[in-house]
């Protein structure tokens, strides 16, 4: 096949060089964007007087037909082309003859692939945002269904303070909401059209770049042709946002794995999202959560890989940049698959209230309530902390829980303690007192659920 660049070469590429350099298999995914970019370019060429109305109509009709046929006729075919741009041009020339050779007037593969990639990133972010909303709704429903459950809160994976289970789940919704915002920020910076930048210096032809941007649905045009063809920040930002989102997903997976262990027994995950053992018939393994936790490293790897690819490149386009899309494809495809799976998995999770209630009797979970009680009675906090530590030590030595210690025993530790000490030693009352905005009190949890329902 004739190359787009072959005129000054006496010999074609060696087979091994073709195998190394051709990107057609990866580029197939760009076909709808590449064809649409060409459609917009035809309109700009006609407006600039470079194509007649008849020529523009013929090219537009051929491109529309190619767009309709490509998935059926070419996606599964072994194509001989170097990349998607040369493929589309070849197919157009086969249909339109010499007229098809006019299509590349005033543009380069450099500004064309940059435009294709921006269109793809915008679409992928929109798809991911829709899936993220669905996943967050499934988390919100899990929180609502268990809104009355008091749950052990941890720091350092040690029992810390009682919380509402719903409050714990809502914490993840906040994290994933920030992920949505980061992806939308990346989309904003992808929303500028590079077409018209040509190879790197701009085009010699009077192309209406604002027309091109409007035709392709961009918010505006890039302002520097050299930056336009060399910029892959919008992919880096997307990969960064996805890596952070997967870190949050991995944190959630770790907790689901921990909670579902029979040793803990807080939750049960549905059979359709767990697997068994080939040798131990009693096992019910949280494999989906483990797999997602395992895949998280790839997302950071994709970001670091593209970051390192770009960091040493001089302006403007370099062929290294051909390697950007595989990083992007794997990350967006995997993340969408994870969201699909976990949106379906969340409704299968059930809570074991008996195991949760039993856990609340361990680790002196209301100890901080005693310290705060003493502060309210006028004891300086540092002294209150010390006194409470002594009470905990006493309880450990006696094998007692804090609510099993009598008032008279408490009074051995401080004269400030009265009979109302018993009022602070239940988990229900402990969570109810955390009624500041953002706290775990049932009233605050209900308010946050209402806010998030409106947001989602």
Predicted confidence at residue 3, as pLDDT, reads 64
Q: Following DSSP, what letter does each residue of 365-400 receive, concatenated? A: TTHHHHHHHHHHTT--HHHHHHHHHHHHHHHHHHT-
- Rounded to two decimals, what is the model's pTM? 0.94
Predicted confidence at residue 48, as pLDDT, reads 97
For the annotated catalytic residues, the residue numbers are 156, 277
Give the DSSP H or E segment for 150: strand 150-155
Predicted confidence at residue 1, as pLDDT, reads 47
Q: Return averaged pLDDT per consecutive 10 residues of the chain, 456 residues in all.
A: 61 76 88 98 98 98 96 90 94 96 96 98 98 98 98 97 98 98 98 98 97 98 98 98 98 98 97 94 95 97 98 96 96 98 98 98 97 97 97 96 96 96 94 97 98 94
Q: Strand pairing partners for 163?
A: 151
Predicted confidence at residue 13, as pLDDT, reads 74
Predicted confidence at residue 21, as pLDDT, reads 76
Inter-CA distances, 203 with 4, 106, 199, 213, 229, Å? 18, 6, 8, 15, 13
Predicted confidence at residue 20, as pLDDT, reads 74
Which three-class secondary structure state does DSSP give residue 161? strand
Domains and CATH numbers, the chain: 6-105 (1.10.275.10), 110-150+164-355 (1.20.200.10), 358-455 (1.10.40.30)
- Please tell me the distance from the alpha carbon of residue 318 to that of residue 234, in angstroms, as a whole number: 17
- Please tell me the distance from the alpha carbon of residue 266 to that of residue 288, in angstroms, as a whole number: 18
Contacts of 136 (CB under 8 A, 6+ apart): 173, 176, 177, 452, 456
Question: Is the Cβ–Cβ distance between 292 and 338 less than 8 Å?
Answer: yes
What does the buried/exposed string (b/e) look like for 381-415 if buried means 16 or more CB atoms within 10 Å of the residue's CB? eeebbebbeebeebbeeeeebbeebeeeebeebbe
Q: In the 8-state DSSP scheme, what is residue 275?
A: B
Burial of 237 (0-12, 13-18, 19+ CB in 10 A): buried
Report the C-alpha dihedral over residues 168, 128, 118, 41, rounded to 10 degrees: -150
């Amino acid at each position: 096949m004739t190359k787009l660049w072959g005129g000054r070469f006496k010999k074609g590429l060696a087979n091994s060089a073709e195998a190394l350099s051709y990107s057609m298999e990866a580029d197939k995914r760009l076909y709808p964007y590449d064809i649409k970019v060409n459609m917009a370019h035809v309109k700009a060429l006609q407006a600039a007087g470079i194509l007649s109305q008849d020529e523009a109509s013929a090219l537009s009709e051929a491109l529309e037909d190619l767009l309709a046929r490509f998935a059926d006729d070419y996606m599964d075919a072994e194509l001989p082309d170097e990349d998607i741009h040369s493929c589309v041009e070849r197919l157009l020339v086969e249909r339109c003859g010499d007229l098809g050779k006019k299509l590349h007037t005033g543009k380069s593969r450099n500004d064309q692939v940059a435009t294709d990639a921006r269109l793809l990133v915008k679409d992928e972010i929109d798809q991911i945002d829709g899936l993220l909303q669905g996943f967050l709704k499934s988390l919100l429903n899990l929180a609502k269904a268990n809104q009355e459950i008091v749950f052990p809160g941890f720091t350092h994976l040690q029992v810390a303070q009682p919380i509402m289970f719903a409050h714990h789940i809502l914490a993840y919704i906040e994290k994933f909401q920030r992920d949505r915002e980061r992806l939308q920020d990346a989309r904003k910076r992808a929303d500028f059209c590079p077409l018209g930048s040509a190879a790197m210096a701009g085009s010699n032809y009077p192309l209406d770049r604002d027309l091109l941007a409007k035709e392709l649905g961009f918010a505006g045009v890039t302002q520097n042709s050299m930056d336009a063809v060399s910029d892959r920040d919008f992919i880096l930002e997307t990969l960064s946002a996805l890596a952070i989102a997967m870190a949050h997903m991995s944190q959630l997976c770790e907790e689901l794995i921990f909670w579902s262990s029979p040793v803990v027994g807080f939750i049960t995950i549905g059979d359709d999202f767990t697997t068994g053992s080939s040798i131990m018939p009693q096992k019910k393994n949280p494999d989906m959560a483990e797999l997602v936790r395992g895949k998280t490293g790839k997302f950071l790897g994709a970001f670091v890989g593209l970051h390192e690819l770009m960091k040493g490149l001089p302006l403007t386009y370099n062929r290294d940049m051909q390697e950007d899309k595989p990083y992007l494809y794997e990350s967006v495809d995997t993340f969408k698959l994870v969201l699909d799976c976990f949106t379906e998995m969340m409704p299968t999770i059930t809570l074991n209230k008996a195991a949760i209630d039993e856990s609340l009797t361990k680790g002196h979970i209301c100890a901080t309530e005693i310290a705060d009680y003493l502060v309210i009675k006028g004891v300086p906090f540092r002294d209150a902390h010390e006194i409470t530590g002594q009470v905990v030590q006493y309880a450990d030595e006696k094998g007692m829980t804090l609510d099993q210690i009598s008032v008279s025993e408490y009074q051995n530790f401080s004269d400030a303690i009265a009979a109302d000490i018993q009022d602070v030693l239940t988990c229900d009352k402990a969570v109810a007192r955390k009624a500041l905005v953002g706290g775990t009190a049932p009233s605050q949890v209900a308010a946050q659920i209402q806010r998030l329902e409106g947001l989602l």
